[in-house]
Amino acid sequence: MTGVRDELARLAGEALDYADAEVAIRRAHRRRVRNTVASVATAVLVAIGTAVPVLWLRDAGEAAPTSEVSPSPDSKATDGVQLYRPNQTIDGVALPPGAQDKTGEIGRVWRTAHGVVLMGTKGTYFAYNNDPIMVLLAPAGTPATVSADGRFAAWVGDDGAAWVADLSQELVTGAPVMALPQGVRVQQWAGDRLVLTNAARARWMLWRPGDAIGAMWQDGEFRTSDGAGTMALVIDGTGCLVRVNLSTLGEEEKACDGSFTVVEASPDLKWLWLERNGQHLLADGERFFQDPVGVRPIGAMPGQVVWSGRRWVMVSADGTLLRVLSTSGSVFDEMDVEKGTVLVEMPSG
Amino acid sequence: MNRYEGFEEFVRARGAALSRTAYLLCGDHSAAEELVQDSLARAAGHWRRIVNTNPEGYVRKIMVNQHTSWWRRVGRRERPYADLTAVMEGGRDDAQVTTERLALVTALAALAPKQRAVIVMRYYEDMSQAEIAEVLGVTTGTVKRNTYDALRKLRALLPTLDLEPEAGR
């Protein structure tokens, strides 16, 4: 090993450029606004206490919120994330006129090679890239799931069968694959297999569409898997969160320190967004199983969450506030967005 | 006048250098990014006041002190990424550089934040003991003590690392 100066210089060379002036200014601006609100509130309390009849809040001067900074959702902080905003293009895909009437309120959007999948209150539709055609995939009330690579969609049809659509085809159509037993639903893709769940009986199984459904049910509540379908997170019968190897279906690690549930996970399961008793927490998925106490609380956080590749991005339930969180849970960036904004789930790998 | 006039140019010019220091202080990209952005946001809030002084020194001072403060709050749960002995013994010739790098990261992670800060400022930033004392808001005696303790710990963890004797400038 060489000298400490050389070693430090070499290590420093691995650093990325983390500095972003636009985000820093926006954070400074928010801090000023918060301080102004706090000082005005204090002034009001003092004024009330001393019976001052008139408050002159108009001239707040230097500390007043200004509009010098106009938040842009296209900053570096949201790299890796696309937003669906009502009546605007989605990652270059313009929706046909009247699309909103067809889909109803949109809850989830997936980007695929030939278009986007829109899951709305009136059904799940496929909109081709720059084409006025939208295809109905799944009817209303049957939540669809799209594979991590954006290639397949699956859902349970009105007929109780599992339907699959190959989104990589030029012409996207769904087809029934197999009638499912009563109470069984399609949860999500795990690689090229589907996870079927029976919530009432707290069990799950992996199923490759086209194969017969055997008796390979696993006990526990399936939560999520990595994009490749090699590892899954499952709540077992005793409430422990378990990492399950999907090749062997064996338990690899287990955390029993509290009833955690998984809200979202990065595609490699490296980062976890957890919930426990209404409290939301962030965790390093590799260290969590050795040290479940080391999770970072971030408060209650309703809305949609996705992993951008570097950070957590969330949109509030009404789609008006976008927040970017670092892996340690601090607010990295925050901005107002158009009501109804939804995060677009991008293909991985 | 825009209250942030010149700030973007400053970040463009010095952001990468500040990022390198943050990475040495934190040892991982996520924490370093947070440290840089949090410090820049604080600096932006006082930009008019600091723009004509030494904004880079101001940001560095915030970074070092923020890092120490974070460690007080959450860092006591921090653990080295790997067992150092295992890292050193497990190394192969063709991966020597990676092994040494991992060993250095692990050894730095084992230092207390002020010790880590003095090592980074002294041996990477090439700052004098007086300058380090000013940044940390402590006496030069405290800097010497921290440097001594940090070097002693690094020597114990990395016997092959060539540590220069402290000249005490």
Contact call for residues A129 and A114 (beta carbons, < 8 A): yes
- The predicted pLDDT at position A67 comes to 29
Q: Is B72 helix (H, G, I), strand (E, B) or coil?
A: helix
Q: CA angle, B88 as apex, B84 and B93 as ends, to 5°?
A: 155
Nearest-by-Cβ selection for B19 from A5, A16, A69: A16
| Better-predicted residue by pLDDT, A23 or A294 | A23
What are the backbone dihedrals phi and psi of residue A338, each rounded to the nearest 5 degrees, phi first?
-65, 135
Nearest-by-Cβ selection for B11 from A21, A68, A293: A21
Mutate to test the interface with A, among B8, B9, B30 (most CBs of A within 10 A): B30
pLDDT digits (tens, 9 = 90+) for A181-200: 888 899 999 998 999 998 88
- The predicted pLDDT at position B84 comes to 41
- The predicted pLDDT at position A34 comes to 62
Pairing of strands A331-336, A342-345: unpaired
What distance, in Å, lies between the first and last C-alpha atoms of chain A? 37
pLDDT digits (tens, 9 = 90+) for B62-78: 999 888 887 665 554 44
- The predicted pLDDT at position B17 comes to 93
Task: Provide mean pLDDT across the span B117-132.
Answer: 92
- Give the pLDDT band (50/70/90) at residue A225: very high
Task: Please give the C-alpha separations between residue A225 and each of A147, A170, A233, in angstroms, as whole numbers.
Answer: 11, 28, 6
The answer to whether residue B39 is domain-embedded is yes
CATH number reported for the structural domain that contains residue B43 in this entry:
1.10.1740
- Give the pLDDT band (50/70/90) at residue B1: low
Residue by residue, DSSP assigns A280-336 as EEEEETTTTTT-GGG-EEEE---SEEEE-SSSEEEE-TTS-EEEEE-TTS-EEEEEE
Judged by CB atoms closer than 8 Å, whether chains meet at B44 and A326 is answered as no
* Residue A251 to chain B, least CA–CA distance (Å): 23
- The predicted pLDDT at position A59 comes to 28
Contact call for residues A265 and A285 (beta carbons, < 8 A): yes
* Residue A149 to chain B, least CA–CA distance (Å): 25
Burial class (CB in 10 A: 0-12, 13-18, 19+), A143: middle
Longest dimension (CA), chain B: 60
- The predicted pLDDT at position B122 comes to 92
Average pLDDT value for chain A = 80
Q: Which residues in chain B touch residue A327, judged by CB atoms under 8 angstroms apart?
A: 30
Contact call for residues A104 and A121 (beta carbons, < 8 A): yes
Number of domain units in chain B = 1
* Residue B17 to chain A, least CA–CA distance (Å): 8
Pairing of strands A279-284, A296-299: antiparallel
What distance in Å separates the CA atoms of residue A221 and residue A204, rounded to the nearest whole number?
7
Q: Which residues in chain A touch residue B101, judged by CB atoms under 8 angstroms apart?
A: 7, 10-11, 14
Q: How many CB pairs under 8 A join A and B?
A: 144
What distance in Å separates the CA atoms of residue A80 and residue A85, rounded to the nearest whole number?
16
The answer to whether residue B109 is domain-embedded is no
pLDDT digits (tens, 9 = 90+) for A47-91: 444 433 322 222 222 222 222 333 344 445 566 678 888 877 787
What distance in Å separates the CA atoms of residue B116 and residue B58, rounded to the nearest whole number?
19
Q: Which residues, in sequence order, are CB contacts of A57 under 8 Å at separation 6+?
A: A40, A43
Lowest-pLDDT range of A163-172, A255-264, A338-347, B130-139: A255-264
- The predicted pLDDT at position B121 comes to 93
Judged by CB atoms closer than 8 Å, whether chains meet at B34 and A22 is answered as no
Residue of A nearest to B14 (CA): A19
- The predicted pLDDT at position A45 comes to 43
Task: Provide mean pLDDT across the span B138-144.
Answer: 91
Judged by CB atoms closer than 8 Å, whether chains meet at A1 and B16 is answered as no
* Residue B141 to chain A, least CA–CA distance (Å): 22
Helix pair angle (B96-109, A4-12), 10° resolution: 100
Pairing of strands A161-166, A134-139: unpaired
What distance in Å separates the CA atoms of residue A246 and residue A14, rounded to the nearest whole number?
34
The answer to whether residue B68 is domain-embedded is yes
pLDDT digits (tens, 9 = 90+) for A112-163: 988 899 999 999 999 888 777 788 999 888 889 999 999 999 999 888 899 9
Residue-wise over B107-127: b if at least 16 C-beta within 10 A, else e?
bbbbbebbbbbbbbbbbbbeb
Judged by CB atoms closer than 8 Å, whether chains meet at B19 and A328 is answered as no
Asked whether residue A212 carries a pLDDT value surpassing 90, the answer given is no
Q: Which residues in chain B touch residue A61, judged by CB atoms under 8 angstroms apart?
A: none
Residue of B nearest to A3 (CA): B162
- The predicted pLDDT at position A182 comes to 84
Domain boundaries, position B63: 1-78
Nearest-by-Cβ selection for B45 from A1, A12, A31: A31
* Residue A91 to chain B, least CA–CA distance (Å): 27
* Residue B137 to chain A, least CA–CA distance (Å): 24
Lowest-pLDDT range of A55-59, A167-171, A218-222: A55-59
Lowest-pLDDT range of A44-48, A226-230, A261-265, B144-148: A44-48
The answer to whether residue B113 is domain-embedded is no
Residue of A nearest to B151 (CA): A4
- Give the pLDDT band (50/70/90) at residue B89: very low
